[in-house]
Amino acid sequence: MADGPEYAAPALEKGLDILELLAGEAGGLSQSEIAEATGRSVGQIFRVLATLERRGYVSRDRQSGIYAFSMKTFDLAHRHPPLRGLIAIATPPMRDLADRVRQSCNLSVLDAGRVRVIAQVESPADFGYRVRVGAVFAVESTATGAVLTGDSSAQPIVRPDALQAGILDIVVAVRDGGRTVAALTLPYVATTFSEVDADAVLAAAVETASEISLRLRPE
């Protein structure tokens, strides 16, 4: 079978270029900025942008004309059976964990070389720190990334959050067999509101990650 330019899909290439560009732009871009960044003219991307907007993959601010990446691709990923199953399995133990330690917790996976938060349970206490589901972080800047990229012998990590002062990241690997498939993270808030100390929270997180890992194994 031949390959190469014969099987190129120019419109698809434009659409993917636009999505990949906007995914890395927190503030969005104008049509002309998108054209310049992708090396194309406004006329070449106009129809593609319109289609992406109509299908919900990008949104456009009516006043400024700025295009931004939407959460539709994340929604599609949630419909993917393996990810949906992981979230369904992990959420009940995560709720129990949050209730026990009075802290929020979240679950993350590697997504195209970045840390992606796929589930979040808020602290039942009056004070806590939460991370938005769908949030993306660089692997190298987070304790969660260190656990996700570690090998099967990776140990739990406890260290100050590199991005948020006053937060202690407690991260434990969730494994399917010997493979790390997700990371359970508790952004521990050490204040007078904290009802459980960090050592006890770590022990509870290890127990919960083990429970999730056990549930992932087929009967």
Residue 29 maps to which CATH number?
Answer: 1.10.10.10
- The reply to whether 123 and 193 lie within a common domain is yes
* Helix, strand, coil percent values for the chain (each to nearest 5): 45, 25, 35
Q: How far is CA 131 from the centre of its chain?
A: 10
Is pLDDT at 101 greater than 50 in this prediction?
Answer: yes
Task: Please indicate, yes or no, whether residues 49 and 105 belong to a single structural domain of this protein.
Answer: no
Could you tell me the pLDDT band of residue 79, with boundaries at 50, 70 and 90? low
Verify that 112 and 212 share a domain, yes or no: yes
Judgement on whether residues 123 and 182 belong to the same structural domain of the protein: yes
Identify whether residues 211 and 169 lie together within a single domain. yes
Range(s) of the domain holding residue 200: 76-216
Q: Is residue 2 very low, low, confident or very high in pLDDT (cuts 50, 70, 90)?
A: very low
How many structural domains does the chain have?
2
The whole-number pLDDT of residue 157 equals 93
Over residues 36-51, the pLDDT tens digits come to: 999 999 999 999 999 9
Say if residue 199's pLDDT is above 70.
yes
Q: How confident is the model at residue 81 (pLDDT cuts 50, 70, 90)?
A: low
Nearest partner of 105 among 207, 192, 26, 181, judged by Cα: 207
Q: Are residues 13 and 117 in the same domain?
A: no
pLDDT tens for residues 15-29?
Answer: 999 998 988 877 789
Same domain, 24 and 116: no
Domain termination residue (choose one: 70, 92, 109): 70
What is the value of pTM for the model shown?
A: 0.68
